[in-house]
Amino acid sequence: MTARDVVLARLRAALAGAPPAPVHHRPGHRRQGELPPGHPELVDLLAERLTDYRAQVHRATEATVADTVAGILAAEGAAAVVVPPGLPAGWRPGGVELVVDDDLPADRLAELDGVVTAAAVAVAETGTIVLDAAADQGRRLISLLPDRHVCVVRAEQVVATVPEALARLTPDRPLTWISGPSATSDIELNRVEGVHGPRRLHVVVTDG
């Protein structure tokens, strides 16, 4: 039986109202890391992996998030950015026009210089941040169209493994998993950035 057959069999069983098929984990599968969420070693590992993926990682305290984000945007000449309605007031940078998303059309989002969001969770081992479209993250579209994404992650949101992240997420929400700037390669392995999302990713990790 192929893997495809297994998947289809499980789908048929689920649709028929049958109990789900047992899940067999491969040897060595880890559902949880050795360190608790937010441990400094996990935060360092997340930063290391994100940097490997060409994201830029910044550290801030909860009180300096706004200034840190403002510095990032000023250094890159960003003049106007979109923010989700629920982005904490204390994280909103000065010195730049903030456009609160109220179902802005795609062409308006595309012409803005960036987006500032929070995150739902981050995975240290894979260097991944996850957005679930909560009020402080906004619609998926606002994190995909602008060419610059500044994402604020609280240290307590950093977990070790993907299963730990999944346990914190609601599966029926729209999830966006981000590991570095958007990039793809052609058949000659020439890297092209910005095809499916922002070319510039800044992650601000706070101590809060």
- Show the tokens assigned to 192: 């092209």
Question: pLDDT tens across 149-180, in order?
Answer: 999 999 999 999 999 999 999 988 999 999 87
Q: pLDDT by residue (tens digit) across 109-140?
A: 999 999 999 999 999 999 999 999 999 999 99
Torsion angles phi and psi, residue 55, rounded to 5: -80, 160
pTM above 0.75, yes or no: yes
- The CATH architecture to which 34-206 belongs is 3-Layer(aba) Sandwich (3.40)
Max alpha carbon distance in the chain (Å)?
61
Map residue 80 onto helix, strand or coil: strand
Give the count of alpha carbons within 13 A of 36, CB side only.
1
Per-domain boundaries in the chain: 34-206
End-to-end CA distance of the chain: 49
What's the pLDDT at 154? 97
Q: How far apart are CA 168 and CA 173, in angstroms?
A: 12
pLDDT of residue 31: 82
**Non-local CB neighbours of 9 within 8 Å, separated by 6+ positions:** 21
